[in-house]
Structure 1
């Protein structure tokens, strides 16, 4: 059974760990080893923990956190969708995305955007997102990564 719940500050490190595992598993070939290392180094206390104060959610299978996702209401942006490698290709990414889109609708948004990683752009296109032009994502830590900015009308 898969359930999505609001994250708490206690979820910060496990959310960070899911992110690290997902990136290092799923982004091979889309980014260099060094980029993936730089992107995933550190710990939740390096700033990732502050995301728990936003509309940040954890997806759990039998109570165990295995997925994350976030809605940044101020920027109309969906992000931080990461699935633990042991649970990839089970439809959980789609379920988290639909949950966040429903939340965005409930909060009055008519459109959402996201910066897709190079390996995830096709997934988002299949989910109705539009965007083709690559761009550079500038992370808060100063890392620069190729991405595809995308939008979807709700």
Structure 2
């Protein structure tokens, strides 16, 4: 059974390693080799320290194995990250993480979530109820521009406790 656990600052190196594997394997069909290289070689952003220190991250685990993670900025309602081990993509882990992030959103009384979706993840987010608002070039902290979709999702009032 998949369990969601809060992430902490000490988890950043392992989470970033998982994210790098996901970028290299799951994004390669949607971005150039040069983009993948720059994207995957970039270090964790400084914002991860604040986000993980303020209980914005959830880690999905099963039998002690880390399966993926998600981060929701409690200040803005932006889904900052949602990554799953590449070999486990499509197994419901991302959905479980998104449900957990919605729980955090409910704690903060958000009525809407937003995010920048990489092209490979857009269909997943559509299945989760997000709507593409615009297609744009996201400036990644590494200095490259990545085509992405800015997406939003209204949260039902029944999910806000």
- Give the TM-score normalised by structure 1: 0.91
CA distance in 2, matches of 1:125, 1:132: 11
Deviation string for 1:82-128 (max 9, x for gaps)?
A: 00112211110111011101220222000010111011111111111
| Structure 1 position 31 matched with structure 2 position 47 | no
Q: Cα offset for 1:141?
A: 3.1
Task: Give the match for residue 64 of structure 1.
Answer: 65
Partner of 1:22: 22
| Residue 108 (structure 1) aligns with | 109
Q: Does 1:122 align with 2:119?
A: no
Give the corresponding residue for 1:99: 100
Q: Secondary structure at the match of 1:145?
A: strand
Which residues of structure 2 form unaligned runs of 5+?
156-161
Alignment root-mean-square deviation, CA = 1.7
Runs of 5+ consecutive residues of structure 1 not aligned to the other structure: none
Secondary structure at the aligned position of 1:116 is classed as strand
Give the TM-score normalised by the residue count of structure 2.
0.87
2:7 aligns with 7
Matched residue count:
153
In the aligned structure 1, how far is the partner of 2:69 from the partner of 2:60? 6
Does the 8 Å contact 2:129/2:153 carry over to 1?
Answer: yes
**Cα–Cα, structure 1 residues 12 and 48, in superposed 2: closer, same or farther, change >3 Å?**
farther
Structure 2 contact 57–69 (Cα < 8 Å) conserved:
yes
Which residue of 1 is the match for residue 84 of structure 2?
Answer: 83
In 1: Cα distance, 2:20 partner to 2:127 partner: 24
Aligned CA distance change for structure 1 residues 49 and 76 (closer, same or farther; 3 Å): closer
In the TM superposition, what is the alpha-carbon distance from 1:65 to its structure 2 partner? 1.6
1:9-40 CA-partner distances (Å, limit 9, x unpaired): 22111100110011111112211111111111
